[in-house]
Amino acid sequence: MIRVLSVASECTPLVKTGGLADVVGALPAALAGVGVRMRVLLPGYPAVMAALEGARRVLRLDDLFGGPATVVEGRAAGLDLVAIDAPHLYARPGNPYLGPDGRDWPDNPERFAALSWVGAMIGARGLDGWRPHVLHGHDWQAGLMTEYLPGLGGGPRTVLTIHNIAFNGPADPARIGALRLDPWRFHAEGYEFWGAVSALKAGLMGADALTTVSPTYAEELMTPQFGMGLDGVMRHRRHALTGILNGIDEDAWNPAADPAIIPYRDPAGKAAARAALRAEMGLPEAPGPLSVVISRMTHQKGLDLLLEVLDDLTAMGGQLAVLGSGDPGLEQAFRDAARAPGVAVRIGYDEGLSHRMIAGGDAILVPSRFEPCGLTQLYGLRYGTVPVVALTGGLADTVINASPAALARGVATGIQFAPVTAGALRGALARLGGLYADRETWSRLQRNAMAQPVGWAASARAYRDLYAQLTGPG
């Protein structure tokens, strides 16, 4: 049995801002069936501490980046958890990264350095008799583990997964001492990035293996267009990099048993779910497809492009239902758009509504400028909600475009478009309308989508094989 400590800043269902949490929450169960025992180390946010069952203290730290802390272990949501109970760092309301003003907490570098420090300490010294074979960190919040391990006596092999390279965890070099970093490592082969400390750069340079969440994104990261200034680092470490597709929790997202929706077992059940969604969102009957968007509202997600083509969508008899939050300008733009017939918008996060939208939508739109993997298109496939996606990252890896050849062979599962422009998206929506009007072809497309593997089985084996390769025989 390979023992792994997964170190992350969020985890479904305890705390979530994006797809990172879904992956961290799903991996332990997925890996349990292939010979991997995974524990998850999380910051002790209020929601995490409240959820812990049978919590017991296993370590006390007198000074963890500005105050005392206790490391506790227990169970929550079916997971084996280790939590850092450090009220001076984590006992804050709301979003784990942002204050009430919507800005990053000023001490985020120390807050997540503490996460990396405790992860490295457990890797180097064990925890109450348990010691991992592999430390598996996620994104910049766990990136400093490889910097701390040598000073703590060394430790196990390390993996860093890049969920989104756009966030690199910068800090002013004046904080090097406060972050307990070796000042002699502040250079291009260490954690220096354009004159700043970068927690992600540290992990990219120091981890034994790097993974990202789709094969195409792994290739994209080595290009200036997608590498966010770190493309040279990624090319330097290309032999350590593997793209492993994310999966979804097929029990949580199960159209045959989802308690959040009117159950259905095949595309014929779409009618009831669609009618219920229209009623809930205040949309009338319409002849065209009901498209849904469930997304953070950011430039990355390409939702500004969707605003440009809304008139084209509604002109063909289509409708749009949107759930999301993020950039205030985009939020307001979608509120304004909802004044038009055929468009409904809910600003915020609502897990139950997201299930009902995936179930009731005919198509799910994902016009991202870049997308490491993406999960909403996988939910769409599972529910026969046809994905319309940009040709990038994991979207390219998970959707089979409805080209004439793919349609003729009966293998298409969705619609891809490129380049990521309003004009190309407009063309994709026109294709959507044409396919929807051909009921036989549309039904086949839905059934193909629902038959597409979207779970964790293959990816869990890939992670297990990577861990085994790192740890060697025995």
Burial of 153 (0-12, 13-18, 19+ CB in 10 A): exposed
Q: Is residue 63 in a domain?
A: yes
Q: Do 80 and 148 fall into the same domain?
A: yes
Looking at the structure, do residues 230 and 311 belong to the same domain, yes or no?
Answer: no
- The verdict on 208 and 279 lying in the same domain is no
pLDDT in tens, 174-219: 999 999 999 999 999 999 999 999 999 999 999 999 999 999 999 9
Decide: helix, strand or coil at residue 141: helix
212 and 123 within one domain: yes
Overall number of domains in the chain: 2
Indicate which CATH number applies to the domain containing 364: 3.40.50.2000
Instruction: Please give the pLDDT value at position 251.
Output: 87
Query: Is 213 within 8 Å of 164 (Cβ atoms)?
Result: no
Same domain, 431 and 352: yes
Per-residue confidence (pLDDT) for residue 262, from 0 to 100: 59
CA angle in degrees (0–180, nearest 5) for 156-237-298: 100
Q: What is the pLDDT of residue 264?
A: 58
**Rounded Cα distance, 218 and 261, in Å:** 36
Q: Is 252 helix (H, G, I), strand (E, B) or coil?
A: coil
Question: Do 416 and 366 form a contact (C-beta atoms < 8 A)?
Answer: no
Do residues 231 and 311 share a domain? no
Helices (H), 338-382: 351-360, 376-382
The more confidently predicted of residues 264 and 235 is: 235
| Residue 471, pLDDT above cutoff 60 | yes
Q: What percent of the chain has pLDDT above 90?
A: 90
Secondary structure (3-state) at 295: strand
Tens-digit pLDDT profile for residues 17-74 = 888 999 999 999 999 999 999 999 999 999 999 999 999 999 999 999 999 999 999 9
> Taking 70 as the threshold, does the pLDDT of residue 129 lie above it?
yes
Per-residue confidence band for 310, with pLDDT thresholds at 50, 70 and 90 = very high
SS3 441: helix
Domain that holds residue 281: 267-451
Q: Is 43 contained in some domain?
A: yes
Instruction: Tell me if 261 is assigned to some domain.
Output: no
Residue 84 in contact with residue 65, Cβ under 8 Å? no
Residue 259's pLDDT is what?
66
**396 and 370 in a common domain:** yes
Q: Is residue 203 part of a domain?
A: yes
Domain assignment present for residue 255? The answer is: no
pLDDT tens per residue across span 331-385: 999 999 999 999 999 999 898 999 999 999 999 999 999 999 999 999 999 999 9
Please tell me the distance from the alpha carbon of residue 128 to that of residue 135, in angstroms, as a whole number: 17
Task: Judge if 287 and 206 occupy the same domain.
Answer: no
Do 235 and 300 lie in a common domain? no
Q: How confident is the model at residue 231 (pLDDT cuts 50, 70, 90)?
A: very high
DSSP state of 127: B
Q: Is 274 exposed, middle or buried (0-12, 13-18, 19+ CB in 10 A)?
A: buried
Dist. CA 228–CA 400, nearest whole Å: 28
For residue 265, pLDDT over 60 is answered with no
pLDDT for res 168: 95
Closest listed residue to residue 222, CA positions, set 233, 213, 212, 214? 233
As given in the structure block, the two tokens for residue 5 are 């400590």
Pair 186, 317 in one domain: no
pLDDT at residue 282 tops 70: yes
* 317 φ/ψ angles, rounded to the nearest 5 degrees: 90, 10
Residue 244 · residue 456 · CB < 8 Å: no
Assess if residue 204 is contained within a domain.
yes
**How high does pLDDT run on average in the chain?**
95
Q: Average pLDDT of 108-124?
A: 98
H-run or E-run covering 69: strand 69-76
In the prediction, which pLDDT does 351 show?
87
Do 232 and 287 belong together in one domain?
A: no
**What is the pLDDT, as a whole number, of residue 78?**
93
User: Sorting pLDDT into bands at 50, 70 and 90, what band is 270?
Assistant: confident
Q: How far is CA 39 from CA 75, 88, 123, 277, 455, in A?
A: 10, 24, 12, 38, 21
- Tokens describing residue 212: 């990202």
* Phi, psi torsion values for 448, nearest 5 degrees: -60, -45
Q: Is residue 224 part of a domain?
A: yes
Annotated binding site, which residues?
16
| 102 pLDDT tier (thresholds 50, 70, 90) | confident
Average pLDDT over residues 242-257: 90
Q: At what angle do helices 270-281 and 351-360 cross, to 10 degrees?
A: 130
What pLDDT is recorded for position 474?
47
**106: CB partners within 8 A, 6+ apart:** none
Q: Are residues 108 and 13 in the same domain?
A: yes
The answer as to whether 212 is a domain residue is yes
Instruction: List the binding residues for ADP-alpha-D-glucose.
Output: 16
